[in-house]
Amino acid sequence: MIREFGGTDIVYLIEAARWTLLLALTATVGGGLLGIVVAVLRVIPFKPLNWLAIAWINLIQGTPLLGQLFVFFFGLPLVGLSVDAWTAAALSLSIYASAFFGEIWRGSLQSVSQRQWEAGAALGLTYAQRLGHVVLPQAIRISVAPTVGFLVQLVKNTSLTALIGFVELTRASQIISGATFAPLPVYLTAAAIYFVICFSLSQLARMLERRLHVAR
Amino acid sequence: MSYNFKFDVLLRYIPEIVQGVLLTLQFSVVTMLCGLAIGLIVAMASISPLMPLRACARVYVEALRNTPLLVQLFIVFFGLPSIGIKLGANTAALIALSINMGAYGAEILRAGFQSVRQSQVEAGRSLGLTAGQTFRHVVLFQAIKTIYPALASQFVLIMLTTSVVSSIGATELFHQAAFIDSRTYRSFETYTLITVSYLVLTLGFRAFFAGVYWMVFVRRPRR
């Protein structure tokens, strides 16, 4: 039976957006932890580890996320891991995010002037003290805005997990669209929900940029 | 449980993969060109002195950049027919990709225009160049040099993004994966191979763009 696209459908879409947010949040945490490792390997004064991190970043940024999703979705069962769409989605998005977070944070670390390191050394601080008390606090300030900015990409990219059947906002829209035969209002509603999330994040990033970059 | 990885069964499908690569390149180039054309109009609107034009440009850029391409694609392909606009998968894909690229292109081009300092224009004019000559000989080269890296990485991004349009059945590289998968039942191997093909494309193009940058802007920095 065909039914009209109405209030309950909009509620259903908003509820599905929770999964979009949860997935983005998971990828932020997972990708963040991995991203720290990538950033550290990238700047550590030991060439082979730098190359490893560069290879990782190139591999992830040089292949489409959709491909990574499919490789995980079809690949994990082969190594004996029972895999649902959620696992494959969370894992591949985390790995995807790790490469970008790694680059953002490396850039932030390296944009702290070399003189700050030297000044710390001149004061007799150890490497760890220089990193912890002098460089990191500045690097974190620099990195906050681009990190929040990347979250927009992450939220948008969760939509691709619909294609391996994970029911988040986009997949939910497909389902409702199939039931109501009203694709235009359904997808426009979905777009509006994405917009509210992403635009808020964009504005937050812009605001942070203004606030944190004043005193540099 | 052990799984026998069989990549050799895919060898037979190399012609399909090559064809997919060519189609992906076609999609990327067309998207880049159409997107830049749209982007140029939007960028000019966004720096125009007319407030309504600036507002329109800003709405366009923000709306497109804050929603997923996949949803934009679905709106064009599944949504538009209900208001009487029916499009083939490839056409819908190209339209959605171009409109999407238009928003990113607009930002890149605007940054390029604004990066050239006003004093450069004044210098050109005071040397007796006309406005057109100043633009061609002074502004253009500097603007292109500034935005070149962004354009190059945008091209690579588009190439990777085209994989998404396979979801409505547009025929590019990722679409060939579904085809090969349905013939061989070797999903993991197929998608790995296709994903690696993108990596080869990406690295190839990055090297190519870096080479062009060096030839044009580094080797002879002055004209």
Q: What is the DSSP string of B81-97?
A: GGGT----HHHHHHHHH
Chain segment A47-76, per-residue pLDDT in tens: 999 999 999 999 999 999 999 999 999 988
Neighbours of B152 (CB within 10 A): 17
Domain range for B169: 11-218
Chain segment B147-180, per-residue pLDDT in tens: 999 999 999 999 999 999 999 999 899 999 999 9
Instruction: Give Cβ neighbours of residue B75 (< 8 Å, ≥ 6 apart).
Output: A183, A184, A187, A188, A191, B96
Is B37 a member of any domain? yes
CATH number at residue A12: 1.10.3720.10
DSSP state of B186: -
Q: How many CA atoms lie within 13 A of B67 on its CB side?
A: 28
Chain segment B9-34, per-residue pLDDT in tens: 788 889 999 999 999 999 999 999 99
Q: Is the Cβ of B182 closer than 8 Å to some Cβ of chain A?
A: no
Asked whether the beta carbons of residue A194 and residue B68 sit closer than 8 angstroms, the reply is yes
Asked whether the beta carbons of residue A63 and residue B75 sit closer than 8 angstroms, the reply is no
Residue where the block lists tokens 């366009």: B60
| Residue A45 in this model has a pLDDT that exceeds 90 | no
**Chain A interface, best mutation among B2, B66, B199, by max A CB count within 10 A:** B66
Is A81 a member of any domain? yes
* Domains: count for chain B: 1
Is A171 a member of any domain? yes
Q: For the stretch A17-50, what's the b/e string if a residue is b when 16 or more beta carbons lie within 10 angstroms of its beta carbon?
A: bebbeebbebbbebbbebbeebbebbeeeeeeee
Asked whether the beta carbons of residue A191 and residue B70 sit closer than 8 angstroms, the reply is no
Alpha-carbon distance A90 to B184, whole Å? 28
Is B223 a member of any domain? no
Is A92 a member of any domain? yes
Is A27 a member of any domain? yes
Domain range for A168: 7-212
Q: Is the Cβ of B74 closer than 8 Å to some Cβ of chain A?
A: yes
Chain segment A151-204, per-residue pLDDT in tens: 999 999 999 999 999 999 999 999 999 888 899 999 999 999 999 999 999 999
Alpha-carbon distance A200 to B16, whole Å? 43
Chain segment A8-20, per-residue pLDDT in tens: 899 999 999 999 9
**Residue of A59, A64, A78 lying closest to B3 (CB–CB):** A78
Is B99 a member of any domain? yes
**Residue of B3, B70, B198 lying closest to A64 (CB–CB):** B198
**Residue of B66, B177, B203 lying closest to A199 (CB–CB):** B66
Is residue B185 left, alpha or beta, with left meaning phi > 0 and alpha meaning psi from -120 to 50? Answer: left
CATH number at residue B35: 1.10.3720.10
Neighbours of A168 (CB within 10 A): 24
Alpha-carbon distance B143 to B137, whole Å? 11
Confidence category of residue B2, pLDDT binned at 50, 70, 90: low
For chains A and B, CB pairs below 8 A equal 120
Chain A residues near residue B188 by CB distance under 8 angstroms? 71, 74-75, 78
Nearest to A146 by CA among A190, A97, A194: A97
Q: Is the Cβ of B85 closer than 8 Å to some Cβ of chain A?
A: no
Cα dihedral B150, B153, B155, B157 sign: negative
Asked whether the beta carbons of residue B71 and residue A191 sit closer than 8 angstroms, the reply is yes
Cα dihedral B181, A88, B163, A37 sign: negative
Is A1 a member of any domain? no
Q: What is the pLDDT of residue A214?
A: 56
Nearest to A186 by CA among A13, A21, A16: A13
Alpha-carbon distance A89 to A70, whole Å? 9
Cα dihedral A80, A83, A88, A94 sign: negative
Reported ipTM: 0.91
Q: Is the Cβ of A13 closer than 8 Å to some Cβ of chain B?
A: no
Asked whether the beta carbons of residue B68 and residue A170 sit closer than 8 angstroms, the reply is yes
Chain segment B85-137, per-residue pLDDT in tens: 999 999 999 999 999 999 999 999 999 888 888 888 889 889 999 888 888 88
* Domains: count for chain A: 1
Q: Are the CB atoms for B24 and B175 separated by under 8 Å?
A: no
